[in-house]
Homo-oligomer: A and B are copies of this chain.
């Protein structure tokens, strides 16, 4: 049974900003609606780890005062926003989804949070993350799995599962998350919303607990691409305006992963346009190996002491994966750095012919919570590699990648992913706007 839509379902940032400035609603009322919805929908979705009613209402009051006094911080001014629980918000617990940080309260904001506040956003709470963001399923966290608003028996996807669930359920109009292999785009796609992973480094990762420094990106989740663009502008100061749509190349996802053909058909139908693009021979395998090697080594580097000192505090699946990651030999990391150069060259050639590459975001629909393998057309499909297959290549290459809702398969959302070169974000969003 789908979760009933919350107060922000179907409301865009532009709508809300207009209503606020027209005096039809106050920031305080918006914050109250978000807090109430989180309370009402929260237990079913497990989207939030921590709510900050006092802080949110205080920030909302200031936002209202500023607007009344003529100070307008732009489109996020007075809007409720949720922040993934491994992004530091001063004074709020940051568990990273882990018992290792059950008691941790940072005293400074992450840079992206500072920028949110500067843009007038009202932070209402911290959202569930897969433990240490180390998993695309969103169902292994010290505070339990986040769940899919479309069907709470299904996974939200991860690792920014709580952020996606909170937006998809209409609890908040905007959330921020992190994306190391797809952790913004995967849950956004599985929950039926939009998510944008900017170019590597476009939004600083200072104050974000690392998963894999070479691949960690801060990203945004919202109802649609337009809202992602607005949030991206506010978080970066980038002006991304007035572009024509770009030429689109369609990448058959089967070249990267043998997933659900119904997902491919549904997404292809939404795109309508786009010449077929073939990925170069061997690309899929090389990009997957590169992703795994770098991510494993960098993640193990983050957790080496915790693995030695208090392994029992990790969730068992996370522990098992971390232990395997700690054994990946360094020469594979070195090879992966070399492979990344080659892969970047290959993709650069594809962009010589098309401005935007399009494909499904995830080649399957949301599996049930805790599922790790399932049968598809008589084949066994491993869930984790399936979830990551179409998103992680763009972390390896640091490219801007957007997912937008692309309809339903079996009543469950699927996403269309658009990828471009850094600097071509205007083309990317203009292309999305045409869909």
Complex Cα spacing A297 to B335, Å: 9
Complex Cα spacing A266 to B328, Å: 46
B331 touches A304 (CB 8 A): yes
A137 beta carbon closer than 8 Å to chain B: no
Contact among B298, B301, B304, B331 for A297, CB-based, below 8 A: B331
Interface residues of A in 318-352 (CB under 8 A from B): 325-335, 338
Contact among B301, B327, B331, B332 for A335, CB-based, below 8 A: B301
Interface residues of A in 293-329 (CB under 8 A from B): 293, 296-301, 304, 325-329
Interface residues of A in 107-124 (CB under 8 A from B): none
A326 touches B326 (CB 8 A): no
Contact among B300, B301, B304, B334 for A298, CB-based, below 8 A: B334
**A332 → chain B, closest Cβ, in Å?**
6
Q: Which residues of chain B come closer than 8 Å to A328, judged between CB atoms?
A: 329-331
Report how many copies the assembly holds.
2
Complex Cα spacing A31 to B299, Å: 57
B330 touches A329 (CB 8 A): yes
**A426 → chain B, closest Cβ, in Å?**
34
A327 touches B329 (CB 8 A): yes
Residue total for A at the interface (Cβ-Cβ under 8 A): 20
Q: Which residues of chain B come closer than 8 Å to A293, judged between CB atoms?
A: 330
**A40 → chain B, closest Cβ, in Å?**
43
Q: Select from chain B the residue with minimum beta-carbon distance to A293.
A: B330
Interface centre among A297, A301, A330, A332 (most CB of B within 10 A): A330
B331 touches A329 (CB 8 A): no
Complex Cα spacing A296 to B332, Å: 12
**A339 → chain B, closest Cβ, in Å?**
11
Interface centre among A299, A300, A328, A329 (most CB of B within 10 A): A329
Complex Cα spacing A326 to B333, Å: 11
Complex Cα spacing A334 to B297, Å: 7
Contact among B300, B327, B329, B338 for A326, CB-based, below 8 A: B329
Q: Which residues of chain B come closer than 8 Å to A332, judged between CB atoms?
A: 301, 330
Complex Cα spacing A328 to B297, Å: 11
Q: Which residues of chain B come closer than 8 Å to A301, judged between CB atoms?
A: 330-332, 334-335, 338
**A117 → chain B, closest Cβ, in Å?**
30
Complex Cα spacing A300 to B331, Å: 6
Q: Select from chain B the residue with minimum beta-carbon distance to A335.
A: B301
Contact among B297, B299, B304 for A333, CB-based, below 8 A: B297
Q: Select from chain B the residue with minimum beta-carbon distance to A325.
A: B331
Pick 25 A–B contacts, CB within 8 A, sort by A.
Answer: A293-B330, A296-B330, A297-B330, A297-B331, A297-B333, A297-B334, A298-B331, A300-B329, A300-B330, A300-B331, A300-B334, A301-B331, A301-B332, A301-B334, A301-B335, A304-B335, A325-B331, A327-B329, A328-B329, A328-B330, A329-B329, A329-B330, A330-B330, A330-B332, A333-B333
Interface residues of A (CB under 8 A from B): 293, 296-301, 304, 325-335, 338
Q: Which 10 A-B pairs have the closest CB atoms?
A: A297-B330, A300-B331, A301-B334, A301-B331, A330-B333, A330-B330, A328-B330, A298-B334, A297-B334, A297-B331
